[in-house]
Structure 1
Amino acid sequence: MLNDLQLRKMAHLFALLDVDDDGVIDKMDYTASADRLVNAFGFAPGSTESQRVRAQYARLWDEVTLPMDTNGDERVDRTEFTTGFDRFVTQPEEGYLRHIAPVADAFYDLMDTDGDGRITRTEYLRMAGSAFRMSEANSLSAFERLDLDGNGSLSRQELHRANEQFFRSPDAQAPGNWLFGPLPPRT
């Protein structure tokens, strides 16, 4: 069962993924997020990079989010989303590796525009602003907390650690809690 922190993280991510702010997530929200991301990085619609990101978003929808839909309307509300992430990602030991790691790898490859194997502050800010509608200030705060070794860039390992902490950790001090910017205050 998710603790208060984990519930807040899921509510925060839900709000970021609900692109049209209609209170539910559907396949269109995932398609729109993928399109914003590939456009922000300047990839053509039919490019290999674009197809890979869209395929990972489609996989995330088909294999993780759609099965959360308990009433069969092909839309996932916040309760279904939270319960589903707990069931598919947070609780099973392999949940992160099976469902989130491939998407994180696709994001990493897309963000690493210069191919140097590291995500720079600029690359991270571009991704956070386009894919998750994060402000520049929130993106910068997130980056600083995720850069565990303080070298000014994110390694693939740092990104995976942050993702796994966001989706699985009940620890309020885990740097990965900042993956999608600051969490809203408790309500």
Structure 2
Amino acid sequence: MERPIETRSAVPEDRAGIAAMLGRAFVEDPVFGYIFSDKETRQRQLPRLFALMLGSDLKAGYGMVAGDGEAVTLWRPPGRARVGWCEMLASAPALVQALGGSLVRALRASAAVEAHFPAEPFHYLHIAGCDPAAQGRGLGGAAIIAGLAAAPRGVPIYLETATEANLGLYQHFGFVVTDSWRVPDGPPLWSMCRRAK
């Protein structure tokens, strides 16, 4: 009998390890490929960018880690999906360093994502990633299940994905496609929502 996959809350001390893992997990992601068109640059910069995103998400919400850090989900509660201006200004130097010449494309992608947020309050599955070397073992699903269990009741849960192959995974957990759209001059994305429980 297989042992159940262990999950736990992410903590700030996880930052470097999770950021490195997410850098590997998203190196072929269409949105990050749009932001960093050069793969070597993408491989180098993604861990820096994810370290910033992880710090922000843990301040605003929570993260769930599966296994030994091979998978993670990062969640933002209702009203906290957008990063506030004060936080943006405080992190601007680090953000510019992480994005470099890709800043304009990153802002364009971010604006497109925010433009498609639901009008009603929602809980946000901001990031879900699994180390490519650990895929197929249920770790990503375990991190999603743990995050859903911690989500507030009574509000829908929203996510977007640029990877069409991920739609079936999220549908398995009760999400349905609510829209498809495109970053201007960039990749298509799908909005998905899970109804309030």
Structure number with the higher strand fraction is 2
Q: TM tier, shorter chain? A: 0.3 to 0.5
Give TM-score scaled by structure 2 length.
Answer: 0.32
Give TM-score scaled by structure 1 length.
Answer: 0.33
